[in-house]
Amino acid sequence: MAHGLQGYQSIREQINNDYQGAAKELQDAQGVIALLRDHVIDFSFLVEEVRKASSLAVEERIETPVSAPSHDNAFLPLRIPEDSTDEDVSSAIVSLLISAIHDERPEKTVSDVYHIIVNEGLTSHLDALNILPHLLSCNHPGAQDMVSLIGECGSAKEVVMTVQEAVERLAPSFDESDDAGTDREEPSARKVQLLVVLIDLYAAAIPRIKLRRKSASETVKPLFSELEAVLKLAGGESTRDEGCSLISGVSRLVQQVWRWKGEEQFDKVILKALLDRAAISFSQCIQSSIAQRTFAECFPRLAFRTKLDSDWEAGNAAIAELLDVYQTIGLDTITLSGSSSVSDLLLSAYRPLPNPDVSKLFTFLLPPLISSLESNAFLDESLAVLLRSLHTWTTASSLDRRHLPPEVTSPFTSSLPSVASAHPDPTTRHQAFRSLSMLLAASDPKLRFQTLVELARHSEFPQMRVAAVGLVKEGLLDALSQAEARAAKAEEGKLNVKELRDEIFLSPMFLRTFGPILFRPNPTDLFASDTLELKVFQETSEPTRLVECLSLYYVLLQRDRHNLTGIRDKDVLKTVENNLLTPLRRNLDRWLDDPAISESHPHDITPIVSLKISLERVDAAREALISQ
């Protein structure tokens, strides 16, 4: 067909050239006559004769019959007769492709057949039902181009039927889990790649379907339901790149079907369900470092050495596509009412509301946030939401701040410590701990106090029992700072102890509760004998915890000038000395007096050197206090 058109075009070009030649002859003749006229010879009759001759020649050439383009050249590569029917052409294409895919030495490759179809304009003869199954199971060069061509030009109904059958066959293959501990095999990779192709085929074919009795929603609902089931199974077998590709592919699919009919016939619930499923199934593939980027935004001084995940932009781009489609279908608004879903969590992490009401936001997002912290899914996004929201609360004016209600903060006090203690990634642990610290600061003081007691005494994680001492110190310093600020506003500049009777951190209750936990070794008889070996002591978390405890004790001695906690009482000073300081001092001196220890590498005795320095600082503060 294309060759016939080329022949027709060449004849037209020849006619045009002849016309231009005749015009040139006419122009030359007119020039000669003008020259003769200048010599007073009248040859005007020649002008008319030349014009008539030129016009006659052009008309004769134009009236020459031109043959219409035929299928001779188009059918030549297919080796079928000139008068072949459309069905014959389709069968010839199928035969060539099957031969190219399965024969050891085919006459033409898949790429050859692709170029024949494109160049000869034979896309209307593509038989999707008989071609696609063979193409989907092969990886020949040009196969992907051929699949894309069928998706765009083949019968939409046939393409959708073929893809639906392929999706149904693919589901059981994902359900057959590989042996534990084995490397990911090539067939598994092929399954995921095939799923990407099938989604792209749906995106190309579904918008070309001609609806009859069923609406657009009724047409795609069973297709999307089957696709959701396969996406759920594919989540555990996808690499990072494949997961991002599938998220992007689903986003394109929903975008295309929405453009097809949009709000006219689509139930948004169907589209949202597919988008949510893609995000949930491949959440582990996103890895966009959104929490670390949020941390750097909120705490630039602490994040000067921020290290983001390699290729974080790919995950960020995939999520951006997904959120753009949420926006296209009108689901990009966080209402802070009703039930929340994964889309609300993603929007809050990547496209947060400006200056939200933190209490309302946490109440709305509580189910997906807690589920994320406990299951490790969307953990990066959940930490980003917590970091940004709690930072907003802590930096707000004291007039605009109200403690978050217990029903909001309590669920986090059990899940955040686990992440901060046991997560394998140190950066994630730090983000979770910083979130926990700000959450406690935003909590009601009594709930904060009780939570810290539980963490310092009963936490199943030794590292959290150590970190809890620092959190206790933060709570104490916050209470002291607020009390001093109130005193500064008063004319006499003195603390009104009666006004602080409800401040649990600045009352004798503080020492009655935390004294037995923090101002003695754990276990209490740790230093009871002189047989404790330094190596055994350093293998525990106790050296680090005691350094934190001594730091807290020093702060109390220095900052509680009005003795609100009773830390300066003589009996309290004596109790701390007998329970902690004397046994610790005795063992430190014994270890450091041992030449084998004192002369060892400084790195080997760093923990006890830190304890020695902390103890000396506490002793100096106590002596200064007693001498007053």
DSSP for 16-67, written as a single string: HHHHHHHHHHHHHHHHHHHHHHTTT---HHHHHHHHHHHHHHHHHHHTS--P
Phi and psi at 404, nearest 5°, equal -70, 145
In Å, what is the CA distance from 354 to each residue of 142, 388, 439, 570?
49, 11, 20, 53
What whole-number distance in Å separates Cα of residue 288 and Cα of residue 133? 36
Cβ within 8 Å of residue 221, ≥6 positions away: 267, 270
- Please say if the pLDDT value at position 370 is more than 70: yes
What whole-number distance in Å separates Cα of residue 455 and Cα of residue 43? 118
Residue percentage of the chain with pLDDT more than 70: 80
Mean pLDDT of 88-116: 89
| Nearest one of 384, 375, 453 to 418, comparing CA atoms | 375
Angle between helices 44-62 and 2-37 (to 10 degrees): 180
**Tell me: the pLDDT tens digits for 230-258?**
999 998 889 999 999 999 999 999 999 99
Find tokens 């083949």 and name the residue: 154
- Collapse the DSSP code of 413 into the 3-class scheme (helix H, G, I; strand E, B; otherwise coil) and give the result: helix
Average the pLDDT over each of 113-127, 326-340, 407-421, 481-495 and give the range with the smallest value.
481-495
Q: Give the DSSP H/E element, type plus range, for residue 573.
A: helix 570-576
> Considering the entire predicted model, what is its pTM?
0.81
C-beta neighbour count of 288 within 10 angstroms: 25
Mean pLDDT of 558-564: 91
Q: For 605, which DSSP code?
A: G
β partners of residue 404: 443
**Tell me: the pLDDT tens digits for 186-213?**
556 688 999 999 999 999 999 999 988 8
| Nearest one of 443, 438, 369, 368 to 405, comparing CA atoms | 443
| Nearest one of 587, 581, 601 to 533, comparing CA atoms | 587
Task: Indicate the pLDDT class of residue 500, thresholds 50, 70 and 90.
Answer: low
- Collapse the DSSP code of 127 into the 3-class scheme (helix H, G, I; strand E, B; otherwise coil) and give the result: coil
